[in-house]
Structure 1
Amino acid sequence: MEAYINEFADNIWLYLSMPLISAVVGYATNVIAIKMMFYPVEFFGKPPLLGWQGIIPRRAAKMAAISVDTITTHLITQEEIFDRLDPDRVAGELEPALNNMIEDVVDSIMGQHEPGLWESMPEMVKRQVYKRVKKEAPSLISDIMKQIKINIAQMYDLEDMVITNLTKDKSLLNRIFQEVGAAEFKFIGRSGLYFGGIFGTFQMIAWVFYKGSWLLPVFGLAVGYATNWIALQMIFNPKELMRFGPFNVQGLFMKRQDEVARDYGRLVSSYVLTPANIIEGILKGPYSDKVFAMIGKHVQKAVDEQTSFAKPFVTFAVGTQNYRDMKECAVSELVSRLPETLKHIENYANDALDLENTLSTRLQSLKPEEFESMLRPAFEQDEWILIAVGAFLGFLVGVFQLLVMFS
């Protein structure tokens, strides 16, 4: 025993470097593993095998599908979103923009199809046309909104909208996972430092008594593997709060449910379930053809109603076919201006939907198993790769120690 003690004393700084190096290896491998989850956003290297893309960006479609399942299953449905929008209030919010647009639309249509007739028409008559159309425009918008709400399942696809926005912007998907799990990712790095130091201490003690050539590489591999694996387990387990005497134990992510809920509600309502994205989902989503067909039907009906008092004169003056073309042109003009026009309801929609508060409140009330599904899939997809990378890097450091430091 004395010989072992003497050798340790003679090489004390070399031996003490073991826990230090092991702690650094544990920290570094864990941090690298976290970085590999998110970066690079696009594939770097020569696909499919020579290179790397962050796990979350590479699995963007699946990650987005998991996110949308959480949103639509546990937090809010598209029916509830549209139920919160009052058609008459929407029409009222749009009225100033419609009034500004109507004269341009009428002038454009008449100038395109019957420039001579429109130019020769007295200004007073033109004003009457503008006034009549402006008067009825809000009820037209209200009717269209009511029809969309009644037939929402055939007019809108919330899941498609969320998945489309998250997959086209992988950086946004990264940001959501990074901010929601910020504390957990920091813990993974720090835990590598702590557990690495502990494993390194056992490695040092073992090396004092047994200097097998396999010991250092195996310990390095174990440090890289175990620090990642233990950290992941501590994040999510135990799911329910457990008491051991004076100590309360619960998975770090589960313990932060209220805080995570607030962050998630803010991020999703600010960047995913925004009024602008919802409107775009209506106008460009998989059911947009049905939406435009319904809008066209209502607009053409409105044109007929507005010209009913003078329809015989109008059709006589411009011809039946030209009259039909004018109605179709009215539809096209309205549809082309819709995206810009609908921006005027974004402030109202934001207040009416109150999505940040809704998402946060409902997320706070989820059961642990349901809440875990928000972040756990980010690790589960290729968790083995992250652990294997940590183990491999730890093994290389062990080989370095054996060949260079303790040769």
Structure 2
Amino acid sequence: MAFEYDWWEYALIPLIAGLVGYATNVVALHLTFYPLEFVGIELFRLDNQPWGLFGWQGIIPTKAEKMASTCFELMTKRLFSIHEIFSRLEPMKFAAVMDDVVLLMMDEVINEVANEFMPQTWNNIPKEVRDDIVVTADDESNKFLVDFMKDMQAHIEDVVDIKEMSVTACVENKHLIVKVFQECGEKEFVFIRKSGFYYGFLFGLIQMAVWFFYPADWILPIAGFLVGWVTNWMALKVIFLPIEPKKFCGFTLQGIFLKRQAEVSEVFARVICVEILHIKAIWGAVFTGRLSKNFSAMLRAHTLAFTDKLLVEIEPLAIAAMGVEKFLEMKESIARKVVEKIPDVIDASYEYTQSALAMEDTIREKMKVLPPAEFEGVLHPAFEEDEIQLILLGGVLGAIVGLIQLFTLFA
């Protein structure tokens, strides 16, 4: 039987198929993560879909809210309890690291408010009385901080929503959720890219045989579509299936991502705690999040009790100078300013709090012992939601390459 084309043209078919498999997987992966925002002309676009009529947004950035919600739902239900985490803080140690900055802040606030409400009376108060206020503040600030921290620990779920904080961070800074998936699945993504070539080459051998016996024009684009489709599909399946280890001919089979549970747990805990669940972000959520009003009310109550003890010696003079109503208004002003200024000094507690909470250690150790079916939920949402789109994208890119191959090599 005579060859219709040169031998090297046939030999190029599996090689090109391998390259198609590799290229489609690389492009599909890139389009999973990028661009972070929609690029193109958004004439028409369905809600929560990466594609528009003319343009594209990465699948994970498009689904950032849903994927982050799924991820942190798993964390807050299975990996840690915020109540248990905050119970690790020792109120006495917290008070010790905050004592000096709180004393300075209270001194500043009281001077500022007293000069505003009763400047003449305040400036005429004997030095001994002022010194007594300083001594009282020094004695009482530790108790104020200890009582406040105990109250906050008992009601931590009323003052901060960790899941909401984390999801909001990922939606507002989409690179965060992208980084979580990329670093946790780094080895899997290398596998996806390489496997595209190997699977594509094997399918290319079949394609070459078909083309040899039946060189119809439609073969190459159809084969290209199948190569792009199947290589993406197989790569995704090998990563996540089987979920549970299965014995087969003396070998243990399990999804390659699931085999790396201990390693991924280390990476996941580190990235999450460095990028999202760090103590600065947690305090930021306490001060400005959905439940911040509860925190402000709690801090106000403790500040008013503290202020009562500080001003007990000058209360008669203050009331005589401005009246009861104005005196109460002055105390409210002190409490309000403390609530406003606490975010400026809370960083004094960061080092101790970060160490005491030990969130990274907790997340890492709990994640290592998750059942495989639950552990799979860490990375799989990046693909599961739009798996068919990824596979179809590979097929379309493969068909385009098949058409190019037809009109350049075999025209």
Paired with 2:272 and 2:377, the residues of 1 have a C-alpha distance of: 16
Answering whether residue 245 of structure 2 is matched by residue 241 of structure 1, we say yes
Equivalent in the alignment of 2:233: 229
One-letter identity of the residue aligned with 1:303:
T
Paired with 1:402 and 1:269, the residues of 2 have a C-alpha distance of: 51
Paired with 1:57 and 1:403, the residues of 2 have a C-alpha distance of: 37
Q: Is the CA contact (8 Å cut-off) linking 1:98 and 1:134 kept in structure 2?
A: no
Equivalent in the alignment of 2:285: 281
Equivalent in the alignment of 2:295: 291
Q: Is the CA contact (8 Å cut-off) linking 1:166 and 1:172 kept in structure 2?
A: yes
Of residues 10, 13, 21 in structure 2, which corresponds to 1:18?
A: 13
Tell me by how many angstroms 1:77 deviates: 1.3
**Normalised by the size of structure 1, how large is the TM-score?**
0.95
Paired with 1:127 and 1:58, the residues of 2 have a C-alpha distance of: 60
One-letter identity of the residue aligned with 1:284:
T
1:135-170 Cα shifts (integer Å, max 9, x gaps) = 211211211221122223322222211112221110
Q: Is the CA contact (8 Å cut-off) linking 1:102 and 1:130 kept in structure 2?
A: no
Tell me by how many angstroms 1:309 deviates: 4.1
| Secondary structure in structure 2 of the residue aligned to 1:45 | strand
1:151-208 Cα shifts (integer Å, max 9, x gaps) = 2332222221111222111011110110011111111110101001111111112211
Paired with 2:218 and 2:88, the residues of 1 have a C-alpha distance of: 66
Equivalent in the alignment of 2:258: 254
Paired with 1:54 and 1:393, the residues of 2 have a C-alpha distance of: 17
Tell me by how many angstroms 1:219 deviates: 0.7
Of residues 181, 188, 199 in structure 2, which corresponds to 1:184?
A: 188
Q: Quick one: structure 1 residues 307 and 119, their matched pair in 2 at CA, closer, same or farther if it must change by over 3 Å?
A: closer
Tell me by how many angstroms 1:403 deviates: 2.2
Equivalent in the alignment of 2:73: 69
Answering whether residue 149 of structure 2 is matched by residue 145 of structure 1, we say yes
Paired with 1:305 and 1:95, the residues of 2 have a C-alpha distance of: 17
Paired with 2:306 and 2:106, the residues of 1 have a C-alpha distance of: 13
Answering whether residue 296 of structure 2 is matched by residue 301 of structure 1, we say no
Answering whether residue 360 of structure 2 is matched by residue 365 of structure 1, we say no
1:15-63 Cα shifts (integer Å, max 9, x gaps) = 1111111111100000100001110001111222221111111111101
Q: Is the CA contact (8 Å cut-off) linking 2:133 and 2:311 kept in structure 1?
A: no
Q: Is the CA contact (8 Å cut-off) linking 2:118 and 2:318 kept in structure 1?
A: no
Percentage of pairs with the same residue: 36
One-letter identity of the residue aligned with 2:26:
V
Tell me by how many angstroms 1:104 deviates: 1.5
Alignment of 1:9-88 (within 5 A): 11-47=6-42, 48=45, 49=52, 50-88=54-92
Q: Is the CA contact (8 Å cut-off) linking 2:268 and 2:364 kept in structure 1?
A: yes
Q: Is the CA contact (8 Å cut-off) linking 1:95 and 1:138 kept in structure 2?
A: yes
Tell me by how many angstroms 1:127 deviates: 2.3
| Secondary structure in structure 1 of the residue aligned to 2:378 | coil
Equivalent in the alignment of 2:49: none
Identify the range of structure 1 (92-101 vs 389-398) with the bigger mean alpha-carbon deviation.
92-101
Paired positions, count: 402
Paired with 1:192 and 1:165, the residues of 2 have a C-alpha distance of: 34
1:358-381 Cα shifts (integer Å, max 9, x gaps) = 111110100010000111111011
Q: Is the CA contact (8 Å cut-off) linking 2:129 and 2:313 kept in structure 1?
A: no
| Secondary structure in structure 2 of the residue aligned to 1:248 | strand
Equivalent in the alignment of 1:379: 383
Paired with 1:144 and 1:388, the residues of 2 have a C-alpha distance of: 56
* Structure 2: 5+ residue stretches without partners: 46-51
1:309-336 Cα shifts (integer Å, max 9, x gaps) = 4422321123212211211111122111
One-letter identity of the residue aligned with 2:134:
Y
Paired with 1:107 and 1:307, the residues of 2 have a C-alpha distance of: 12
| Secondary structure in structure 1 of the residue aligned to 2:252 | strand
One-letter identity of the residue aligned with 2:386:
D
